[in-house]
Chain A
């Protein structure tokens, strides 16, 4: 029993991380219609910043991580997103795919293929026993951080002027501009908020996911692909459905990783085939609900984009 609870809590934590990434991608998609495939490389850059400052005090290290990720986010906005504004969503997706590869290759040339270990707060990796269940501190912290981020984001989007403008721009950019919403301010805000979330993920991911203890050029790449697919499964047109899609993918990955046996000869039957099992579920869900798992009614009759 207790190991089931443990698996469930771990899966919820993984879902929280994926949901954070999904909301970071979804925020930019909302205002720009741009799917940022290079989002994982923002997280990678933050992780390198952490790994290279292991000997510094934790707060300095984390501050540097935020600074690097935000600077890179702004650089992406000015060097790539702005020149591409108005291009088709397909062109922009391919362009961010190229940027992702560019950043990976630069990391490979600069830091090599061998991963660097990341030490943030070792204490958080220790387990805590609640009843008969052993949970690591980081699992609890992850879930709490995610709740805090979503609360803050909800307040930002509903209670502030810039948040209102962001929502307006994501529903109808042309009308929003006619009514005096400044496109550049809204987009830059969205990119920065999305960058802050990427930095938070960069700090949490190495502690929460044991395979991500080392940072290499392909850090967070697998997560990005799973989250992007999750965003589509949930429903890409709305921030809420996109985020729920990301969360569902994390939950599914966590639960399957916990319950699949570690060996098996046939595909989909062991944790070696975890990715296949998850993506097969995705394909089945898409077959049943092509408009998105959490989209109510058949809104997307014609292609919007």
Chain B
């Protein structure tokens, strides 16, 4: 691998390690540590989303479905067998009578997410870009509706609880780094390059013999598997989960993160996830009156629910002023003091 490529992947990995280490230093305040962990899980979810959206140039509103199936699969399968009759009484006996460990549940989550994405991707990837984006809502709708009602595979409308909280800072950091490494390996691979070529010019890519649908489908499935894995991390984060936790709000939040950072680069996905997580945590604390400056300014805590207003405004402003996001679609580079040979165009690869 050339030097620039090495820097592009080591930069985000280094940043994630720093976030993990800083989080462990702040662990005197447990509430703050939770926010570091959840920011790292957000990075995993957003990078998973980026693998499809960034490389294919097609927005998906359905990826939270893959997060959801991964999270529920990992959650249901790690609840101790003796607790299942109380928490999820209606389960199929295959699910009700067995439990697996933390690591196995993450692998299971990735597998379930990947297979699900592959299956729904077959019809969806036949559509043109914009139509495919909108049709992904159908996947989200079906997934939410079934998870929210069918008690044979999960808690239905109730809350899944007593899931082991194994996503500590170490697991969150390593999980996010693993997703980043897979995403990077994919975008540098033959498949990733073909898909990125099709993103830039679909007609030219077809003329060069690239089967755009097939490349999109592979990316969709890989991205679904990573989303499922991230869902596994998510359910082990708080130990509880409801179907509506992995529905429209999370879809909006993950898309906002990706768009704010810049859809076109892996670095953008990482930066966006961390930046929006930081803003989100800040606003949440301001709502509960923990930020002194805001209290002084308004004379009271921030209005309840302002959090999504803040994130939405941030996202809309970035979209209008910097359509390519905070990173302008570039990968991570070390700051340079003399002008390099490559212009901004070249760095986008």
Q: Give residues 94-140 of A contacting B (CB, 8 Å).
A: 94-95, 97-99, 101-102, 104-106, 108-109
* Docked CA distance A260–B303 (Å): 43
Which of chain B's residues have a CB closer than 8 A to the CB of A94?
59, 255, 259, 319
Query: Which applies to chain A's interface (DSSP): helix, strand, loop or mixed?
Result: helix
Query: Judging by beta carbons under 8 Å apart, are B134 and A273 in contact?
Result: no
B145 and A276 within 8 A (CB)? yes
Q: A101-B252, A102-B309, A109-B306 are in contact. Are A80 and B141 (CB under 8 A)?
A: no
CA distance A91 to B264 in the complex (A): 12
B141 touches A290 (CB 8 A): no
A93 in the interface, Cβ–Cβ < 8 Å? yes
Instruction: List, in ascending order, chain B residues with CB within 8 A of A210's CB.
Output: none
A265 and B152 in contact, given A90-B130, A102-B309 (Cβ under 8 angstroms): yes
Q: Which residues of A contact B127 (CB under 8 A)?
A: 232, 286, 290
- A300 and B135 form a contact (CB under 8 A): no
A166 to B129, CA, bound (A): 24
Taking the complex as formed, is B28 at the interface, i.e. its CB lies under 8 A from any CB of chain A?
Answer: no
Query: What is the total of A-B residue contacts with beta carbons within 8 Å?
Result: 140
Q: Mark B10-54, 1 if CB is under 8 A from A, else 0.
A: 000000000000000000000000000000000000000000000
CB distance from B306 to the nearest CB of A (A): 6
A229 engages B135 (CB within 8 Å):
yes
| Contacts A225-B141, A283-B123, A300-B128 given; does A109 touch B319 at CB 8 Å | no
Q: Among the listed A98, A228, A275, A286, which residue makes an inter-chain contact with B256, where contact means beta carbons less than 8 Å apart?
A: A98
**Contact indicator A91/B319 (Cβ below 8 Å):** yes
**From residue A80, how far is it (CB to closest CB) to chain B in Å?**
7
**Structural contact, B128 and A304, CB atoms closer than 8 A:** yes
For B202, the chain A residues whose CB sits under 8 A away are: 302-303
Nearest-neighbor residue (CB-CB) of B122 within chain A:
A287
Given contacts A267-B150, A273-B149, A302-B203, contact A228 B319 (CB under 8 A): no
- Which residues of A lie under 8 Å from residue B134 when comparing CB positions? 35, 93, 228-229, 231-232, 236
Within 8 A of B (CB), among A244-292: 265-267, 272-276, 279-280, 282-284, 286-287, 290
Segment touching A, from B76-84, B107-115, B291-299, B310-318 = B310-318
Closest Cβ of chain B: how far from A107's Cβ, in Å?
Answer: 9
Pick the contact of A303 from B122, B128, B323 — CB < 8 Å? B128
Query: Which of A276, A284, A304 has the most chain B CB within a 10 Å cutoff?
Result: A276
Contact A98 B316 (CB under 8 A): yes
Say if the beta carbon of A60 comes within 8 Å of chain B.
Answer: no
Given that A265-B152, A282-B138 are known contacts, is A236 also in contact with B309, CB under 8 Å in the complex? Answer: no
Residues of B within 8 A of A303 (CB): 128-129, 202
Question: Could you mark each residue 117-140 of chain B with 1 if its beta carbon is under 8 Å from any beta carbon of chain A, else 0?
Answer: 000101110111111011101110
- Determine the residue in chain B with the shortest Cβ distance to A113: B305
Alpha-carbon distance between A25 and B198 when the two chains are bound, in angstroms: 29
Q: How near does chain B come to A288, taking the closest CB pair, in angstroms?
A: 9
**Chain A residues whose CB sits within 8 angstroms of the CB of B128 once the complex forms:** 300, 303-305
Task: Verify B131–A283 contact, CB threshold 8 A.
Answer: no
Any chain B CB within 8 A of the CB of A87? yes
| Residues in chain A near residue B303, CB distance under 8 A | 109
Known: A265-B152, A286-B124. A102 touches B316 (CB 8 A): yes
Q: A279 CA to B304 CA in the complex, in Å?
A: 34
Q: If the complex has contacts A106-B309, A273-B146, A286-B135, are A97 and B319 also in contact, measured as CB distance less than 8 A?
A: no
The answer to whether B313 touches A102, judged by C-beta atoms less than 8 angstroms apart, is: yes
The answer for the CA separation of A231 and B312 in the assembled complex, in Å, is: 26
Which one of B145, B152, B248 has the highest number of Cβ atoms from chain A below 10 Å of its Cβ?
B145
CA distance A102 to B256 in the complex (A): 12
Distance of A89 Cα from B306 Cα, bound (Å): 28
Cα of A275 to Cα of B146 in the assembled complex, Å: 9
Residue of B nearest to A92 (CB): B319
Q: Are B309 and A283 in contact (CB under 8 A)?
A: no
Chain B contacts of A101 at CB under 8 A? 252, 308, 311-312
8 A Cβ contacts from A174-205 to B: none
B28 → A minimal CB distance (Å): 33
Q: Which residues on the B side are within 8 Å of A229 (C-beta)?
A: 134-135, 137-138, 141
Within 8 Å CB of A228, what residues of B?
Answer: 134, 137
Interface: A162 (CB within 8 A):
no
Known: A267-B150, A287-B126, A305-B130. A95 touches B319 (CB 8 A): yes
Q: Flag whether A57 is at the interface (Cβ < 8 A).
A: no
B104 near A: Cβ within 8 Å? no
A305 proximity list for chain B (CB < 8 A)? 128-130
Residue of B nearest to A217 (CB): B305
Asked if B142 and A280 make an inter-chain contact with CB atoms under 8 angstroms apart, the answer reads yes
- Answer yes or no: B57 CB below 8 A from chain A CBs: yes
B residues in contact with A90, CB < 8 Å: 57-59, 129-130, 133
Contacts of B304 in A (CB 8 A): 109
Report how far A84 CA is from B259 CA in the complex, Å: 14
Interface residues of B in 218-277 (CB under 8 A from A): 248, 252, 255-256, 259
15 A-B residue pairings within 8 Å (CB atoms):
A35-B134, A98-B319, A101-B308, A102-B309, A105-B312, A109-B304, A109-B305, A236-B131, A275-B145, A280-B142, A283-B124, A283-B135, A286-B123, A303-B129, A305-B129
* Given A108-B305, A109-B305, A236-B134, 9 further pairs, Cβ under 8 A: A35-B134, A90-B59, A229-B138, A232-B127, A272-B149, A279-B141, A286-B123, A286-B127, A303-B202
